[in-house]
């Protein structure tokens, strides 16, 4: 491995340390644990791949903790394993394209959070289908559940349709899409409430 021997400036190292801490604190919002986020942040910030020992040393974590979270990051495809000729150690580098990172995080959260909710709501609705005699209150509750299911199905389709377009090469298209949404929202803001309700 050709390692970069040039030392980091103090400000460079401080910026990396701050980024690792920040990404770790944000971890809960992304649905991942703090250590997993910090490892990803460190590998994202470093230009050269790091081995497990370097990760352990910089983050002050155990080998077991490092290995467990590296496996998760590999599974999520946020980190890739790198091999160097003559090296027996495994080295790791992070996905550097922020668009891909965000798309992966959205996809993973969707699979782990939204899909189970859809399944559970569908099973709840089956309870009503087994009983054909519905009282008014039951019918009202069933309708609310059906509305929830319908929304999640649309959200699922929207997410799966949009995710492939979340990348830098489609930035112009995404900006136009946002502008259209903003313009529509601005127009709605200028309309009387009655007109908005009729849309």
The enclosing domain of 43 has a CATH number of 1.10.10.10
pLDDT at 170: 82
- Per-residue pLDDT at 29: 73
153 Cβ partners below 8 Å, 6+ apart?
A: 118
Output the pLDDT for position 193.
47
- Residue 22 makes CB contacts below 8 A (sequence gap 6+) with 41
**Does residue 179 form part of some domain?**
no
Structurally, the chain folds into a number of domains equal to 2
**Same domain, yes or no, for 83 and 59?**
yes
Same domain, 37 and 110: no
- How far apart are alpha carbons 125 and 52 in whole angstroms? 48
Q: What is the pLDDT of residue 128?
A: 76
Determine the structural domain holding residue 154 and report its residue range: 98-172
Distance, CA of 188 to CA of 186 (rounded, Å) = 5
* Confidence at residue 102, expressed as pLDDT on a 0 to 100 scale: 83
Same structural domain for residues 104 and 69? no
Same-domain pairing of 87 and 109: no
Residue numbers in the chain where pLDDT is lower than 70? 1-6, 28, 129-134, 188-199
Query: Considering 39, 68, 94, which residue would you say is the last residue of a domain?
Result: 94
Element spanning 57, H or E:
helix 52-59
Contacts 24+ apart (CB under 8 A), 3-9: 3/48, 4/47, 4/48
Cα separation, 49 vs 42, whole angstroms: 10
Q: Is residue 167 part of a domain?
A: yes
Do the domain assignments include residue 196?
Answer: no
- Token pair recorded at residue 101: 């990172």
Query: Are both 87 and 104 inside the same structural domain?
Result: no
Backbone torsion region of residue 60, taken as left when φ is above 0, otherwise alpha when ψ lies between -120 and 50, otherwise beta: left
- Burial (CB count within 10 angstroms: exposed 0-12, middle 13-18, buried 19+), residue 24: buried
DSSP assignment string, 75-86: HHTSEEEE--TT
Output the pLDDT for position 129. Answer: 63
The string of pLDDT tens digits covering residues 54-92 is: 999 999 999 999 999 999 999 989 999 998 888 889 999
8-24 confidence digits (pLDDT tens): 788 888 898 888 988 88
């Amino acid at each position: 491995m050709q390692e970069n021997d040039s030392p980091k400036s103090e400000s460079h190292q401080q910026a990396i340390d701050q980024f690792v801490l920040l990404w770790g604190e944000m971890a809960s919002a992304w649905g991942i644990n703090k250590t997993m986020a910090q490892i990803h942040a460190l590998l994202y910030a470093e230009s050269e791949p790091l081995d497990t020992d370097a990760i352990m040393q910089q983050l002050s974590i155990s080998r077991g903790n490092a290995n467990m979270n590296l496996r998760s990051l590999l599974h999520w495809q946020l980190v890739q394993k790198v091999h160097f000729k003559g090296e027996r150690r495994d080295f790791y580098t992070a996905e550097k394209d922020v668009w891909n990172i965000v798309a992966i995080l959205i996809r993973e959260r969707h699979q782990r959070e939204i899909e189970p909710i859809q399944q559970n709501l569908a099973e709840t609705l089956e309870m009503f289908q087994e009983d054909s005699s519905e009282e008014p209150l039951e019918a009202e509750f069933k309708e609310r559940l059906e509305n929830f299911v319908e929304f999640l199905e649309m959200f699922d389709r929207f997410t799966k349709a949009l995710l492939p377009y979340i990348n830098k090469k489609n930035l112009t298209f995404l900006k136009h899409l946002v502008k259209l949404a903003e313009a529509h929202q601005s127009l709605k803001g200028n309309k009387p409430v009655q007109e908005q309700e009729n849309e």
